[in-house]
Structure 1
């Protein structure tokens, strides 16, 4: 075993599930797990560039992702390959579940973006959420998802958003 291998962070497979199917699976480095919140660092796992118009995710981008076992969202800090902060992409999810080397997160379609300067805060995919039928099939989860989006938006617009990540 080399000296450097002792310095490596443990790996964790992140599995993002949507509508009962695996949307994406990728491996990241587990930075912390305090029993409630986990932090994972991973390279952009998408293929090629994803241009949202207000931000581009591209090869070389690094995501530091925060997941909670007791909250209905995940926050992903996005940095370019040079380390420049692009902003935070927030997924509304069911609370994360870790089982050994795997972290499973169920995406509930709602998202929030906050730019690095905090001036651009936008709710995303509310139409997809409405079309998902969650309000009919699981009204309690739908209410929790909308409450989580409202909470994140409030924090992103003027609350102590970055305190969530400290």
Structure 2
């Protein structure tokens, strides 16, 4: 991935939080923002690889990340450094909060522990981190958010099992 554009209007920072604590912050390049759906491109934000068993994220990987201000998920298209599609990593999260001050865009997303992986060819769809979600206490702290998170994971899984999955990214 090339470095983010020098144009400040194309620069973004993505901040992922979990249970009120910053999990990671990383730079990205703003690709588009229609007021509801924001798309950024970012390099794998860690210096080392992370092997999930079903996919390995590593330095050089490129993520095209889709965030919505009105949806309870984010979808990240993951490509290897050579451009080969690895798949899509979906985070169940509260709708993104986007702050644009004219010099940069900040995207803040609260991760709700549930995730979904869809392989590039669509043959593998995996629900992830349901044990973390159950242990998080969200159902006690915010029952409405917990119910929405569980519903969202079901919606993502149904969509991921169809050839039209990428329609999520176009807002269909």
Q: TM-score range by the shorter chain?
A: over 0.9
Q: Residue 118 of structure 1 aligns to a residue in which SS? A: coil
Q: Which runs of 4+ in 1 moved over 2 A?
A: none
Q: Would you say 1:138 and 2:167 are equivalent positions?
A: no
Q: How much does 1:160 deviate?
A: 1.9
Q: Quick one: distance in 2 between partners of 1:45 and 1:67?
A: 17
Q: Which has the higher contact order (CA 8 A, sep 6+)?
A: 2
Q: Would you say 1:127 and 2:128 are equivalent positions?
A: no
Q: Quick one: distance in 2 between partners of 1:157 and 1:98?
A: 30
Q: Quick one: distance in 2 between partners of 1:10 and 1:23?
A: 23
Q: Quick one: distance in 1 between partners of 2:64 and 2:126?
A: 20
2:110 equivalent in structure 1: 106
Q: Quick one: distance in 1 between partners of 2:47 and 2:73?
A: 24
2:92 equivalent in structure 1: 92
1:48 equivalent in structure 2: 48
Q: Would you say 1:39 and 2:36 are equivalent positions?
A: no
Q: Quick one: distance in 2 between partners of 1:48 and 1:94?
A: 28
1:36/1:161 CA distance change after superposition, 3 Å: same
Query: 1:9·1:31 contact (CA, 8 Å) conserved in 2?
Result: no
Structure 2's unaligned 5+ residue stretches are: none
Q: Residue 161 of structure 2 aligns to a residue in which SS? A: helix
- Relative to the length of structure 1, the TM-score reads 0.94
Superposition map of 1:142-153 within 5 A: 142-153=146-157
- Across the two proteins, how many residue pairs are aligned to each other? 162
Structure 1's unaligned 5+ residue stretches are: none
Query: 2:112·2:149 contact (CA, 8 Å) conserved in 1?
Result: yes
Query: In angstroms, what is the RMSD of aligned CA positions?
Result: 1.4
Query: 1:9·1:29 contact (CA, 8 Å) conserved in 2?
Result: no
Q: Would you say 1:163 and 2:167 are equivalent positions?
A: yes
Q: Quick one: distance in 1 between partners of 2:81 and 2:20?
A: 33
Q: Quick one: distance in 2 between partners of 1:47 and 1:82?
A: 18
- Name which of structure 1's ranges 133-142 and 150-159 shifts more when overlaid on structure 2: 150-159
